[in-house]
Amino acid sequence: MKTATRLWSHGFIRTLSGLAIVAAPTCALFFGLVSTEGANTPSAAVQALSSVVVNADPASGKTDPTAVAGSMSCVECHKSEIAALKVSKHNSSITLITSHPKIAEFAKAANVALEDVLQDSICSSCHATQQDTGKGVHAIGSVSCESCHGGASGKPEWLKLHGDKKKGINAAVRAACGKAGMIRASNIYRITKNCVGCHVVSNQALVNAGHPVSTQKWKFELVGGSSGEVRHNFQVDQKVNGEAPTAWLKHAKGASEENRQRMKYLIGMLVDLEVTLGALKTVPKAAGKSDFAKGHAKRLKAVAKKLKEAVKELEDTTPAELAAAQEAIDDIGRISSLNFKSQDGAEIAEPKIAAAASALAENNDGSKLGKLDSVVKKRAKPRGDAYTP
């Protein structure tokens, strides 16, 4: 607790002086453009994917602190969403970097000065909401609305665009918000990149010092992860927490709760694969047996198994994008024991999986994936209880 008090007071005094320049790639995920260049012999399915434009924001993953308004700006219109957030563990995520016996150990390993943990550090990029109002980056609280939906006061400000009932909300307004950086309910791929950007740890020194490689209890599974305590689908009725985003159900063509679960299951799985491969490809050959390498290899194996199961279940209804992802994983060869070959394989497979994930999201609505339902039911267990006002 002593550490906590010290960190807090330091944290907020040292806004200007405490600019820790910490290697960004650890946490920010820079898997931008699709490229099959350098791949051995890309199959037709994979080649077809290379024409897909991957979701705009190249620095995907993390929210831009300079665009963060803070969740007080949402409370006027989103009371139940705020109430749901308040009772979830996200609302106390910052305590893990203010009052935990291992803070100093982890900070040292990641080359973060203790007094900078709540400033521009990789710790606060995952355990907090970072804001920069021109005086440098610092933590303003735990994980909050904009951690997942993008900064609301960038240029242009989607905060001003999206909730204006007088001007009306229509497809054009929604699209404009998306362009201004709002990560919308419809964009499962982008939402998932944010979750995984925090829930899968890509910093080698940190993991090798004992920080969990991922969410320990439930690895990462999007359907279960978002349908328990994280759920806040109140847009149509602030008293009823829907199974799927309620406004989206109304305005998106052919949208249904079942379709959404299916799409979330597959996209969650592919993004997890993408990020895990991205982590593995950074492992130097000499560190092939480190906790980081072993931890991610274990994750890779588990997700690859889930992918295989989904493809098997879907049979002839397997979407081309999912088949391409399966092919890319098969190309890696034996992943049960991580070796140099599989690390090189990770580098080749990662952009293919990224392309497959965003193309899958783009080209499918889930309506033809009914065969997946038994798998989703078996694998997706809600984390915590959904909040009801």
- Positions 48 through 87 that interact with ligand HEC (CB under 6 A): 69, 71, 73-74, 76-78, 81-82, 85
Residues in the chain: 389
Region 204-223 residues binding ligand HEC, contact defined as CB under 6 A: 206, 211-212, 215-218, 222
Does 203 bind ligand HEC (CB under 6 A)? Our answer is yes
Nearer to ligand HEC, 323 or 379 (CB): 379
Region 296-325 residues binding ligand HEC, contact defined as CB under 6 A: none
Tokens of 4: 């906590």
Its sign, for the CA torsion 312, 39, 357, 25, is: positive
Tokens of 249: 């159900």
Q: Which of 159, 207, 297, 369 binds ligand HEC (CB under 6 A)?
A: 159
Does 133 bind ligand HEC (CB under 6 A)? Our answer is no
The 9-38 contact track toward ligand HEC, x by CB under 6 A, reads: ------------------x-----------
Region 163-192 residues binding ligand HEC, contact defined as CB under 6 A: 163, 169, 174, 184-186, 191
Whether 287 and 204 have beta carbons less than 8 Å apart is answered as yes
Q: How far is the CB of 160 from ligand HEC (least distance, A)?
A: 9
Nearer to ligand HEC, 195 or 273 (CB): 195
Q: Which of 154, 245, 288, 295 binds ligand HEC (CB under 6 A)?
A: 245
Q: Which of 15, 43, 133, 246 binds ligand HEC (CB under 6 A)?
A: 246
Residues that bind ligand HEC (rule: CB under 6 A) add up to a total of 79
Nearer to ligand HEC, 74 or 269 (CB): 74
Q: What does the alpha-carbon distance between residue 167 and residue 175 come to, in Å, rounded to a whole number?
A: 15
Whether 356 and 322 have beta carbons less than 8 Å apart is answered as yes
Does 234 bind ligand HEC (CB under 6 A)? Our answer is yes
Nearest to 40, CA basis, from 333, 378, 258: 333
Tokens of 131: 């804001």
Q: What does the alpha-carbon distance between residue 115 and residue 99 come to, in Å, rounded to a whole number?
A: 13
Between the two ends of the chain, the Cα-to-Cα distance in Å is 33
Q: What does the alpha-carbon distance between residue 367 and residue 252 come to, in Å, rounded to a whole number?
A: 13
Q: What does the alpha-carbon distance between residue 380 and residue 223 come to, in Å, rounded to a whole number?
A: 6
Tokens of 258: 């079942």
Does 146 bind ligand HEC (CB under 6 A)? Our answer is yes
CB atoms near residue 228 (< 10 Å): 17
Q: What does the alpha-carbon distance between residue 77 and residue 81 come to, in Å, rounded to a whole number?
A: 9
Does 372 bind ligand HEC (CB under 6 A)? Our answer is no
Q: How far is the CB of 315 from ligand HEC (least distance, A)?
A: 26
Q: How far is the CB of 156 from ligand HEC (least distance, A)?
A: 14
Nearer to ligand HEC, 135 or 160 (CB): 160
Instruction: Encode burial over 177-207: b for 16+ CB neighbours within 10 A, e otherwise.
Output: bbebbbbbbbbbbbbbbbbbbbbbbbbbbbb
Nearer to ligand HEC, 161 or 349 (CB): 161
Tokens of 221: 């599974």
Q: How far is the CB of 339 from ligand HEC (least distance, A)?
A: 25
Nearest to 306, CA basis, from 364, 367, 253, 380: 380
Tokens of 264: 């979330």
Q: How far is the CB of 177 from ligand HEC (least distance, A)?
A: 6
Segment contacting ligand HEC by CB under 6 A, of 230-238, 317-325, 328-336, 368-376: 230-238
Q: How far is the CB of 16 from ligand HEC (least distance, A)?
A: 21
Q: What does the alpha-carbon distance between residue 264 and residue 361 come to, in Å, rounded to a whole number?
A: 9
Does 369 bind ligand HEC (CB under 6 A)? Our answer is no
The 85-124 contact track toward ligand HEC, x by CB under 6 A, reads: x---xx-xx--xx--x-xx--xx--x-x----x----xx-
Does 154 bind ligand HEC (CB under 6 A)? Our answer is no
